[in-house]
Structure 1
Amino acid sequence: MSYLQWIIKGMAMGAADVVPGVSGGTLAFILGIYERLLNAISAVDLQAVKLLGQGRFKALWRHIDGTFLLCLLTGILCSIFSLASVISWLLEHRPVPVWAFFNGLILTALPVLLTAVNWSIRRAVLFLLGAFFALGISMLAAVELQPANWMFFVAGAVAICAMILPGISGSFILLLLGMYAPVILAIRELQFGVLLLFAAGCIIGLLSFTHFLKWLLQRCHDATLALLTGVVVGAMYRLWPWQDGSLMYSPASYARRFGQDDLLLASACFVAAIAVMLALLNLEKLLGKAPEKPISL
């Protein structure tokens, strides 16, 4: 049953990654698989290359925690390719319920994140620094451009670094770079050449950045968790349901500006998100204990 749990958590990460302002890394952090994910990705190192050269494929698979990564990747790709068009349409035509849903997900999980840290004054300061950093990024304005092919490689490398960070949305970084719409279009139209360039950038960025994060967690674990938790909290600025670009509205002001506030539907989505997050946080109880204990926060 652990395989199914990992696939479901991967699907949650993939769904979050499609939405600008929400991070798949946030879901991994919340669901207790973040450190294991970093360890597995950073295991793609010289030792892995050596095992590959020696033809020791089983040892290589164990070294990189291959089954765990494969299950997560399966869930992520299933979500991205099945939900990209749907979520894009909703963000264009009915954005308020989408933002309300992800708001509910993160708020429900906040107590879990806050109690995972052994707090001190220094860690509280790091928490505030992380929150202000994420808030600053969230308030930046997006740009529009017609990208050259090489820009997909650069965008993949930059976005994946944000994507693996809890609280910083890879999709939102793509939006700031003017690359979100071109990447979504490439996914919709299956432009494999462009997608391969984007994937190559993601691989390079991911392998380099995860080693740095793993190093931080090994040397100052609780301080890093406090900083990352602050980033998650600060990034919630982008999750306010009644927004338009960088402008935030009250439901009543939003209704006057756009004709409807979707308050009832947003409330229903918020409640549904609470139920979904509680189910995700209790997957082990619902589906049975995993034979291998994941690395917890």
Structure 2
Amino acid sequence: MALADSVPGVSGGTIAFLLGFYDKFIGSLDALMSGNMQQKKEAVIFLLKLGIGWIVGFLMAVSVLASIFHTQIYAISSLFMGFILFAIPIVIREEKKNMRVNAPSIIALLVGIAVVALITYFNPVAGSGSSVNLAQLDIGLIVYVFISAMFAISAMVLPGISGSTLLLIFGLYVPVISAIKALMGFDFSYLPILIVFGLGIITGVITVVRLIKFALDKHRSVMVFLIIGMMLGSFYAIIMGPQTLETPQAPLSMETFEILWFIIGGAIIFGLQKMKDISEH
């Protein structure tokens, strides 16, 4: 999840949905806010285990990905193309009993594709390499970072929508990654703005989780089709991802597509699914 969340065009929620713990993830977040003591205890244990893994994965991703994005962006993009393409049939298989092919579901599928594609298409940062300067701290920047973090974490929770892509659109992806990397090197100059960013994340989680849980409980078929649509839309987001780097590069094409990394991405998804099947039996 952390690796996916740190890569523009990919959602950690997609990985959670694929591996079968998305409902438990959303349910645990909801229980943490509104459950009884026993539910809160179970939620804390689950989220603590997930959180430790996420933090370790994210710190590793920040340390490694920040330096290889510019040199290996096409390999990373091809890898995640494999992730998404091989993930969709698995999601359909897992949710087949809940899926109903009707007008609302088809509309949800098309809306899912359109939302991700339009967010990517209208990205004002793409091709410009522009970003926000977090060193110039003022009230306007504090409000901007807080609201951007709210939207980004809401996207990360939803399968298919990339929070990293939204941060790129807001011009915050590279500055936030750089600020976290600086903090890891014991440079605390960016700590105040990172605290604001963290508060925005917490607020976003609180506001969006209950809505998602309600939709999954009451309108699961429509939500599954919406999620699959978002995953399909992610193909376009991944293709255009290289344009959103600090030093923009050409979109992924047949010439830059790396089949080996695509196959590796598919193999990883297949392996994770096998591990899930074994753990359930």
TM-score tier by shorter-chain length is 0.7 to 0.9
Residues 141-170 of structure 1: CA deviation (Å, up to 9, x unaligned): 225322445133222211100111111111
Residues 96 and 242 in structure 1, CA contact (< 8 A), matched pair in contact too:
no
After superposition, where does 1:29-178 map in structure 2 within 5 Å? Answer: 29-47=17-35, 51=37, 60-62=40-42, 65-115=43-93, 116-117=95-96, 118-122=99-103, 123-141=105-123, 142=125, 143-147=130-134, 148=137, 150=142, 151-178=144-171
Structure 1 residue 249: Cα displacement: 5.5
Which range moves more in the overlay, 96-105 or 213-222? 213-222
Residues 74 and 252 in structure 2, CA contact (< 8 A), matched pair in contact too:
no
After superposition, where does 1:259-278 map in structure 2 within 5 Å? Answer: 261=256, 266-278=258-270
Structure 1 residue 78: Cα displacement: 0.7
Match of 2:186 in 1: none
CA distance in 2, matches of 1:217, 1:28: 14
CA distance in 2, matches of 1:281, 1:119: 24
CA distance in 2, matches of 1:289, 1:121: 31
Residues 165-211 of structure 1: CA deviation (Å, up to 9, x unaligned): 11111111000001111110111011433322211111110011010
Residues 224-245 of structure 1: CA deviation (Å, up to 9, x unaligned): 1111211111121122389534
TM-score (norm 2): 0.83
Structure 2 CA distance for partners of 1:156 and 1:267, relative to 1, 3 Å: same
After superposition, where does 1:225-236 map in structure 2 within 5 Å? Answer: 225-236=224-235
Structure 2 CA distance for partners of 1:249 and 1:198, relative to 1, 3 Å: closer
Residues 97 and 241 in structure 1, CA contact (< 8 A), matched pair in contact too:
no
Q: Which runs of 5+ in 1 are unaligned?
A: 1-12, 52-57, 253-260, 291-297
CA distance in 2, matches of 1:236, 1:96: 13
Determine if the alignment matches structure 1 residue 250 to structure 2 residue 257: no
TM-score (norm 1): 0.79
CA distance in 1, matches of 2:71, 2:62: 14
Structure 1 residue 285: Cα displacement: 4.3
Classify the secondary structure of the residue corresponding to 1:144. Answer: coil
Q: Which runs of 5+ in 2 are unaligned?
A: 184-189
Residues 19 and 276 in structure 2, CA contact (< 8 A), matched pair in contact too:
no
Over aligned residues, Cα RMSD in angstroms? 2.2
Classify the secondary structure of the residue corresponding to 2:32. Answer: coil
Q: Which amino acid in the other structure matches residue 41 of structure 2?
A: W
Structure 2 CA distance for partners of 1:36 and 1:47, relative to 1, 3 Å: closer
Q: Which amino acid in the other structure matches residue 130 of structure 1?
A: G
CA distance in 2, matches of 1:47, 1:69: 14
Match of 1:258 in 2: none
Residues 239 and 253 in structure 2, CA contact (< 8 A), matched pair in contact too:
no
CA distance in 2, matches of 1:92, 1:45: 40
